[in-house]
């Protein structure tokens, strides 16, 4: 049961969140990297908060999505097979409560209750994701993408007064939001069969695969525009050649590959591969946030 709960928490996604927060804080925002004990405790507390709340959201998502998952991914259904429903609910409550409590003490040490308020808001949103937002066209996609887009901001909170840090935080927040929005739509296309069986009003169920593909491509193109605008600003501000190569090869080129992968996908397996490529591109983008420190 413990192993099943661990898998339900989506450990790979949680590790990516941890990686992102360290990459951003010690990458482009390295000038505000924690040095003293209290600063380290605050930063680690922010990480624990978002990891626990996300894990809690994953538990409750699997709880409500069990019938859909039996169709879309029958080999990865753990609720009622390996983990009792009440254990899943309890795990959600414990993880979410711990995350919110940690955010309270972190915010108090920062003399700000914004982390606490944000943690409560994200917890409520993730709790309502499957039973409410996911069943409505683009609502669930928007919610998850906003939560992902918050991670760069969460990583450097509360030192956003520095213009350099604020600029790159905005770039990576926009990059994460648009790229993840596209991936969420691609995942909906992949899961359309199960979603339709449960009467989920996702974009591909309501408007069809081709229309959903167009939306996914549009958001990918938006991410590419962010990369292009960033490249232009970096060039006009005479950033190093390394920065220009990093933006071009680490953000714009992978996004072009993503556009091609989504455009060419024509089956469930094809969209699954496209989703994986999008996830890898996100990891590459996070790595760029760290490498910026050196270029």
Domain ranges within the chain, ordered by starting residue: 2-294
pTM score, two decimals? 0.90
Cβ neighbour number for residue 12 with a 10 Å cutoff: 9
Q: Distance (Å, rounded) from C-alpha 167 to C-alpha 29?
A: 11
Question: Quick one: tokens of 179?
Answer: 């790229």
Note the Cα 236 to chain centre separation in Å: 31
Average pLDDT over residues 183-209: 89
Average pLDDT over residues 167-193: 93
Nearest to 204 by CA among 138, 276, 113: 138
Query: Using the 8-state DSSP alphabet, how is residue 69 labeled?
Result: H
Q: Distance (Å, rounded) from C-alpha 295 to C-alpha 265?
A: 36
Average pLDDT over residues 56-70: 85
pLDDT for the residue 3 = 85
Task: Provide the b/e sequence for 111-150 (b: ≥16 CB within 10 Å).
Answer: eeeebbebbbebbebbbbbbeebbbebbbbbebbbbbbbb
Convert the pLDDT of each residue in 11-38 to its tens digit: 999 999 999 999 999 999 998 889 999 9
Convert the pLDDT of each residue in 116-171 to its tens digit: 999 999 999 988 887 788 778 888 899 999 999 999 999 998 777 788 888 899 99
Q: 81 pLDDT band (50/70/90 cuts)? A: confident
pLDDT for the residue 73 = 78
Tell whether the model's pLDDT for residue 69 goes beyond 80. Answer: no
Residue with tokens 């624990």: 48
Q: Distance (Å, rounded) from C-alpha 193 to C-alpha 177?
A: 26
């Amino acid at each position: 049961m413990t192993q099943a709960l661990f898998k339900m928490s989506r450990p790979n996604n949680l590790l990516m969140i941890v990686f992102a927060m360290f990459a951003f804080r010690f990458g482009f925002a390295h000038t505000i990297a924690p040095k003293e004990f209290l600063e380290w405790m605050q930063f680690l507390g922010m990480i624990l908060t978002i990891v626990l709340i996300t894990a809690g959201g994953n538990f409750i998502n699997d709880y409500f999505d069990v019938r859909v998952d039996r169709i879309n991914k029958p080999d990865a259904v753990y609720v009622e097979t390996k983990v009792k429903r009440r254990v899943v609910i309890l795990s959600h409550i414990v993880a979410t409560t711990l995350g919110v409590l940690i955010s309270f003490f972190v915010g108090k040490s920062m003399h700000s209750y914004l982390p606490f308020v944000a943690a409560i808001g994200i917890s409520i949103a993730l709790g309502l994701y499957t039973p409410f937002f996911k069943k409505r066209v683009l609502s669930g996609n928007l919610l998850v993408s906003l939560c992902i887009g918050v991670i760069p901001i969460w990583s450097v909170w509360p030192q956003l007064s520095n213009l350099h840090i604020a600029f790159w935080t905005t770039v990576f927040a926009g990059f994460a939001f648009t790229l993840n929005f596209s991936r969420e739509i691609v995942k909906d296309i992949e899961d359309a069969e199960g979603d339709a069986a449960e009467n989920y009003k996702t974009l591909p169920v309501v408007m069809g695969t081709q229309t959903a593909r167009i939306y996914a491509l549009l958001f990918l193109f938006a991410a590419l525009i962010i990369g292009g605008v960033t490249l232009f600003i970096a060039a006009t501000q005479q950033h190093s050649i390394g920065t220009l190569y990093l933006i071009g090869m680490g953000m714009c080129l992978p996004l072009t590959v993503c556009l091609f992968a989504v455009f060419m996908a024509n089956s469930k397996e094809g969209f699954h591969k496209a989703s994986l490529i999008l996830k890898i591109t996100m990891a590459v983008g996070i790595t760029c946030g760290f490498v910026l420190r050196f270029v």
